[in-house]
Amino acid sequence: MKKKIIFATTNEGKMKEIRMILDHPDFELVSLKDAGIHVHVEETGKTFEENAILKAKAICEATGEMVLADDSGLEVDYINKEPGVYSARYMGEDTPYDVKNQSIIDRLKDAKGEERSARFVCVIAAAFPDGRVVTARGTIEGVIGYEEKGTHGFGYDPILYVPEYGMTTGEMEPEMKNQISHRGKALRQMRKELGL
Ligand code: IMP
């Protein structure tokens, strides 16, 4: 029988990406929605690790199953690593991303070259019914662009320019972004940690 692993997200896009990377014959990966779980966990942590662990542990305790959870965001060095763990909440959850992105570009108007360094960070936490917790972290490094570019992806993708590839993550095809993204790296690292 396949062993069930719950991934603590309601985001189907993320779930698709996660299934592609964590595909394994012995495990069935299910989202909170698939598992019929409606537990809201407040992200009160100050780090991506704290938030990912908070979510994984809470759902693990509620279900008695092994749970994976992630927390991710954009860190911009020039503005003290903002928006960081507040990436989704920056300027308000419902503010459109073109407004959030323009705000970050404006706050960096005096920053030149390497001063514009930034990265996406993703931390995945695994919580086991015996109380054990494992985390894995992935990043993708870039610089904040001078204008939004690209229509792929979501969120802050149009402003993270990755010099190595000469484009923003918003200009990358999804398959390419998955190969090099913070989430892809963290998921593959977690796969190793779990011996899958
Ligand atoms: P959460 O991990 O679902 O809480 O999402 C954190 C927030 O970080 C998202 O809502 C986006 O604003 C931002 N973010 C995380 N990963 C990405 C990405 O791959 N591209 C663009 N924005 C991202």
pLDDT of residue 39: 86
How many whole angstroms from 54 Cα to the centroid of ligand 1? 17
Longest dimension (CA), the chain: 58
> In 3-state terms, what secondary structure has residue 159?
helix
Half-sphere exposure of 74 (CA within 13 A, CB side): 27
Q: Does any ligand 1 atom lie closer than 6 A to the CB of residue 156?
A: yes
pLDDT of 33 over the 90 cut: no
**Domain 3-193 carries which CATH code?**
3.90.950.10
Question: Known catalytic residue: 130?
Answer: no
Q: What is the pLDDT of residues 44-102, one digit of tens each?
A: 999 999 999 999 999 999 999 899 999 999 999 999 999 999 999 999 999 999 999 99
Q: Does any ligand 1 atom lie closer than 6 A to the CB of residue 17?
A: no
**Which of 12, 91, 154, when mutated, tests ligand 1's pocket best, judged by the most ligand atoms within 8 Å of its CB?**
154
Q: Give the torsion sign (CA, 178, 151, 15, 144).
A: positive
Q: Does any ligand 1 atom lie closer than 6 A to the CB of residue 41?
A: no
What is the C-alpha end-to-end distance of the chain, expressed in Å? 16
Q: State the chain's mean pLDDT as an integer.
A: 93
Q: Does any ligand 1 atom lie closer than 6 A to the CB of residue 140?
A: no
pTM above 0.85, yes or no: yes
Tell me how far apart the alpha carbons of residues 146 and 95 are, in angstroms, rounded to a whole number: 20
pLDDT of residue 59: 95
* Residue with the larger pLDDT of the pair 13 and 121: 121
| CA 12 vs CA 18, 55, 62, 85, 123: distances in Å | 10, 17, 22, 21, 18
Residue of the CA atom closest to atom 11 of ligand 1: 155
Containing 49, the helix (H) or strand (E) segment is: helix 48-63
Q: What is the pLDDT of residues 122-145, one digit of tens each?
A: 999 999 999 999 999 999 999 999
Residue of the CA atom closest to atom 18 of ligand 1: 157
DSSP 64: S
